[in-house]
Structure 1
Amino acid sequence: MSLPLTNHTLEKLEALLLAMGFKVRYEKGNFKTGSCLLEHNMVIVVNKFSNLEGKIMALITLVKQTNADENLLDEKQRQFFHSLQQTELF
């Protein structure tokens, strides 16, 4: 499956991660996008200066590495989560 690299896809990823309990922050700096546990808060920090494709690919990678509690997701988010699990990154 191939996702369109659009702002809408980025917004869907952000909403999915929020439902999964993550906070998504955009910060400037010289770093790669990643996730961490800060004082028991799950935070994903995205490099503000990454291009749209880089932001989307980084968030998809993090979603694929996460074991989501699917009870927290609505039906559309659950379907989106499963489609992301099937997505091949290049």
Structure 2
Amino acid sequence: MKFTQHTLDKIERIAEESGYVIRYERGSFQSGYCILQAKKVVVLNKFLQIEGRINTMIDLLPQLNINIDALTHESQKLFTELTALPAA
């Protein structure tokens, strides 16, 4: 997988299509992110580089309540590929 802004945008779109809001903020996140489940908000450390943001989003996807039926065909395909990857 290429670590580009385009790839990050596609991964973020998966969460956004399921109703999540992605925000980049400053904070003391030990894991690089914080999930506010009740509000469907994902807060990522704004100091992460592109590769860190992509890896964090890939790690987060299984923890989010993703409605695969609400995703576009392209997002469904990417979501299936990402969730099938072995954990690093």
Instruction: State the Cα RMSD in Å.
Output: 1.4
User: Which residue of 34, 45, 48 maps to 1:47?
Assistant: 45
- Give the structure with the higher percent helix: 2
- Give the structure with the higher percent strand: 1
Query: What's the offset of the Cα at 1:69?
Result: 1.6
Deviations 1:3-28 (A, max 9, x none): 21111111001111100111000001
TM-score normalised to structure 1 length: 0.84
1:62 — aligned with what?
60
8 Å Cα contact 2:15-2:66 kept in structure 1: no
2:17 — aligned with what?
19
1 CA distance for matches of 2:58 and 2:35? 12
Structure 1: which 5+ residue stretches go unaligned? none
TM-score normalised to structure 2 length: 0.86
8 Å Cα contact 1:23-1:44 kept in structure 2: yes
Q: Does 1:34 align with 2:34?
A: yes
Query: What's the offset of the Cα at 1:29?
Result: 2.4
2 CA distance for matches of 1:34 and 1:62? 10
8 Å Cα contact 1:18-1:24 kept in structure 2: yes
1 CA distance for matches of 2:69 and 2:57? 21
Q: How many residues align?
A: 86
2 CA distance for matches of 1:21 and 1:67? 9
Q: Where does structure 1 differ by over 3 angstroms across 4 or more consecutive aligned residues? A: none
Query: What's the offset of the Cα at 1:33?
Result: 1.3
